[in-house]
Amino acid sequence: MFSYRHAFHAGNHADVLKHFIQVQLHKYMNQKDTAYTYIDTHAGAGVYALDSAQAVKSGEYIDGIARLWGRDDLPPALADYVGLVRSLNPSGKLRWYPGSPWVADAEARLEDRLRLFELHPADIKVLAENVRKREAHHAEQGERARGRRILVERADGFHGLKTLLPPPSRRALVLVDPPYEVKLDYKHVRDALEEALKRFPAGMYAIWYPVLQRMESRQFADRLKRLPAKEWLHVTLSVAGPRADGNGLHSSGMFILNPPYTLEATLRETMPYLVQVLGQDAGATFRIEKGTQVTGAIAREGAAGAPRQPVGNARRASPLSGGGSLRLPGQAYGDGPRTRGEGEQGRAPGAAAGRGQRSPAPGQRDGDAAQGERKAAPRGAGPGARTQSRKASPNADTAPRAPFKRNGSGRS
């Protein structure tokens, strides 16, 4: 259960995505005078040494934060993030990397509260020591908060989240970032968020997750879209195309429930730059989508003006469903049956329609129509009856065929 150690992965491309977004979430929360509570369900060690044996062995930070370290053309959001990392490395040499608790402490104000949960027996000790040093540093600077500003607890973050909601100030930023070393972590995240939204629907919830080949990861975002949040925003970053063996982490995502209204514009400005700088091959890309729980509507990058598409189970509904079975918000009844191409994504124009209705080969159309007409004529009828049937059904070759049912299953 405790095999995952983030020291091997600190500062990689997934951390860049997660932490530059976290900085922006804190800056948005700081715009209001009312204090807020930051809750980290899986806090980790807090700070990581990039010259440690684990970091040197993996070398993942070299293709992450190190690629941004010497840049002088950073977009504003990345400049804020890299500036925070620089404050942890005053010598100018990239040696230390901040985890999410350190990011939260650096961005939050004295009146805000940090509640950190960690279960790993080694990381919890390092986290507690790092927090003690940070509090001592604040005291040396004359910065003293009322009460315990930072609390560290060795406990299950999913359970701890329930005990802290709703917060006293009715403002909260929650980061959910489990290791996903077991498949049940995906279910635990969704269940914890569903319970959290019942207790405190106005909270801001940020979820990081790895984009992997396993089914739980591929279905994770769609499951989060069904949670009863007012709005959601989803972004993924891929630094390379998937490998044939399925190994390695090349993509990750951040899913934000009740996101800041300013975040989407920030992402659209920043993500192309990250793809350019962190990309490792032609498969590098990003994706941004947003929606609301009430309507289930999605707006995707590059899909301006396109008709809204159903989400969740609607994508996998039977293509043989009758008219109205996949009715979208605002669509009238009786719009006709749904073809196989409707609701599919990522296909070239005309490819989906080709699947719904196959074009006959030259010379085959008349033969098929004649064969269908011969079958339609009653047995024992002469050639005149068949000719009459042909005249009565001039469009027989274009009429839709009803699905053939076998044993009541509906399969053809």
**Whether 145 contacts 111, CB under 8 Å:** yes
Give the Cα separation of 279 and 96 in Å (integer).
23
User: Is 112 annotated in the active site?
Assistant: no
Angle among Cα 343, 344, 348 to the nearest 5 degrees reads 130
Nearest C-alpha neighbor of 116 from the set 103, 105, 101, 126: 101
Give the Cα separation of 98 and 10 in Å (integer).
8
312: left (phi over 0), alpha (psi -120 to 50) or beta: left
Nearest C-alpha neighbor of 235 from the set 196, 178, 197, 274: 274
Catalytic-labelled residue, pool 40, 105, 177, 185 = 177
Give the Cα separation of 285 and 252 in Å (integer).
11
Give, to the nearest 10 degrees, the angle between helix 76-87 and helix 13-29. 100
**Whether 71 contacts 277, CB under 8 Å:** yes
Active-site residue set? 177
